[in-house]
Amino acid sequence: MYNKDVKRLKINYKTLEEFKKFKEYGIQELSMLEDLQANISENEIESPFFGIYLGDSLVARMSLYKRGKKYDQYFEPSQEYLEIWKLETLKDYQQQGYGRALIEFAKSFNLPIKTSPRVKSSEFWNKMGFTPVKYDMDRDLGENPLVWHPAGVSQKA
């Protein structure tokens, strides 16, 4: 079995190079690159990224960000929750449990979780125990959020 240790990613030039292998490389990564370049003395920046390495290579990653209670529009009672985006396992490593390991890591904080996944991954999210929220246009606009919550928490009616 592979060792699927989830690590908080240190954002440096090496990590940003690894990020280029992921399909969802975009403005967030470019802005981290700019931050690095603007702050050469520091050489590493804080980021919400977590990932799993196989040897030296990053094979799966996600952004996992804690949002404060005042932003919560999804859970009852209102509380801090986690938001996941950019969950992705590199193609050659899919279906080997990396995605599950990242989600189990996120669940281990025992806070509710919200994500707005890409359309084709619904079976994966279903298996991870995430359920669609009741669509509310004012809140959700173009998103189709999925949520997971620990015992004692429910979705806002």
The footprint of ligand COA (CB under 6 A) covers 60, 87-89, 94-100, 118, 120-121, 123-124, 127
- Residues 114 and 131: their CA atoms lie apart, in Å, by 10
The nearer residue to ligand COA, 32 or 84, going by C-beta atoms, is 84
Q: Indicate the Cα dihedral angle 42, 59, 98, 123, nearest 10°.
A: 110
Is residue 146 helix, strand or coil? strand
Beta strands in 46-107 (DSSP E): 49-54, 57-67, 75-76, 81-89
Which residue lies nearer to ligand COA by CB, 123 or 138?
123
Shortest Cβ 93–ligand COA spacing (Å): 7
CB of 87 to ligand COA, least distance (A): 5
Cβ of 84: how many Cβ atoms within 10 Å? 22
Question: For strand 113-115 and strand 146-148, is the pairing parallel, antiparallel, or unpaired?
Answer: antiparallel
Task: Tell me how far, at minimum, the Cβ of 115 lies from ligand COA, in Å.
Answer: 11
For residues 103 and 153, which CB has a smaller minimum distance to ligand COA in the complex?
Answer: 103
Least distance CB 11 / ligand COA (angstroms): 20
> Whose Cβ is closer to ligand COA: residue 18's or residue 88's?
88
